[in-house]
A and B are shown apart, each in its own frame.
Chain A
Amino acid sequence: EVQLLESGGGLAQPGGSLRLSCAASGFTFTSQDMNWVRQGPGKGLEWVSSVDGTGAGTNYADSVMGRFTISRDNSRNTLYLQMSNLRAEDTALYYCTRNAGLDSWGPGTLVTVSS
């Protein structure tokens, strides 16, 4: 069974940083692209970033380009999202999702950016 479990969310100040993690299990992690998708309070879904199976190929939404960095550790079956220079509008539930088709989702980790 595919399992994705995000962690690392919490309260951060504007301009601050957080690192999100997603522990993956139940599938061959190295063979799958991975993604982060977020959902602001009461809002719709927003794709944030994707990384290919090797970690070499990455893509970002314009709203996070230059501030967020996606990466993965295939030896630990873990996906990361390093978030810096955080803004109030980054407040959201952050989901880890599997492959280009987003076929599996974790429960999410909540990030709140506030002073």
Chain B
Amino acid sequence: DVVMTQSPLSLPVTLGQPASISCRSSQSLVSSDGNTYLNWFQQRPGQSPRRLFYKVSIRDSGVPDRFSGSGSGTDFTLKISRVEAEDVGVYYCMQGTHWPRTFGQGTKVEIK
């Protein structure tokens, strides 16, 4: 199975400051069709997860542009340019290239 490793697991951030979450996969996520199926999800407290990005960097509708996704191969990053109070929650990466699908452990973003 592809292991997805996120870091850090806990991320205290000052409001208005940037934040960055790393996600590394144990195998390349480049599919035979040339696409890289790496998704990012946000789970706010008490809510269902919400997808933020698919195929590494394609932003879902309604996601603020202070969020960005980047990376390739086995190394991926989710960045928040200026953290706002509504960004508090747990962020997960997930690979959709290989079976079984696998998630990272989650990174908890909180305000300092």
Contacts and interface: CB of A to CB of B under 8 A. Distances in A.
Contact of A105 (B49, B102, B106): B49
B99 A100 contact: no
Contact of B54 (A103, A105, A106, A108): A103
B105 A44 contact: yes
B76 interface: no
B109 interface: no
Contacts of B94: 45, 47, 102
Contact-residue size bin, chain A (C-beta under 8 Å from the other chain):
20 to 34
B31 to A, nearest CB: 11
B5 to A, nearest CB: 12
A105 B43 CA distance: 11
B103 A46 contact: yes
A100 B103 CA distance: 14
A105 B103 contact: no
A95 B51 contact: no
A50 B48 contact: no
A103 B100 contact: no
A103 B51 CA distance: 6
3 tightest CB-CB pairs across the interface, nearest first? A47-B101, A105-B48, A44-B106
Interface of B: 1, 37, 39, 41, 43, 48-51, 54, 60, 90, 92, 94, 96, 99-106
Given A45-B43, A45-B94, A101-B39, 8 more contacts: A44-B92, A44-B103, A45-B103, A62-B1, A95-B48, A101-B96, A103-B60, A105-B50
